[in-house]
Amino acid sequence: MLKKKVTLETLAAQMVEGFAKQGKEIHDLTETVGFVVKHVAKLATKEDAAALGIQITGIETQLRDMKHTKLHARVADLEEKVFGAARV
């Protein structure tokens, strides 16, 4: 026996068909569900995920640089207190 693959679109279509007889309120709800299902698939593509990964990598790099910059400044302040001037 072959099972038919159920997708979000086919499920939404079945809901629309089955609930259409139950009145306008339920029909409106099923239309909304169908709309959401149709548009959820468009939210994140592989390209979107790749672009997000690049942005995250850039942010990580900036944070690392900021930590090092802050560390260098703090060491320079300590050197100034201990030695009277920062070492070069």
Pair 23, 51 in one domain? no
- Taking residues 31-57, report their average pLDDT: 80
- For tokens 């201990």, the residue is 82
Question: CA-CA distance, 34 to 11, in Å (whole number)?
Answer: 9
- Provide the pLDDT for residue 76: 84
For the chain, what is the domain count? 2
Domain that includes residue 53, residue range: 45-88
Pair 18, 54 in one domain? no
pLDDT for residue 1 is more than 60:
no
Two structure tokens written together for 61: 């790099």
Burial of 24 (0-12, 13-18, 19+ CB in 10 A): exposed
**27 within 8 A of 19, measured Cβ to Cβ:** yes
- Provide the pLDDT for residue 41: 66
Pair 33, 67 in one domain? no
- Provide the pLDDT for residue 24: 67
Q: What is the pTM of this model?
A: 0.34
**16 within 8 A of 34, measured Cβ to Cβ:** yes
Pair 1, 23 in one domain? yes
Residue 19 — pLDDT band, cuts 50, 70, 90?
Answer: low
- For tokens 């070492």, the residue is 87
Pair 28, 64 in one domain? no
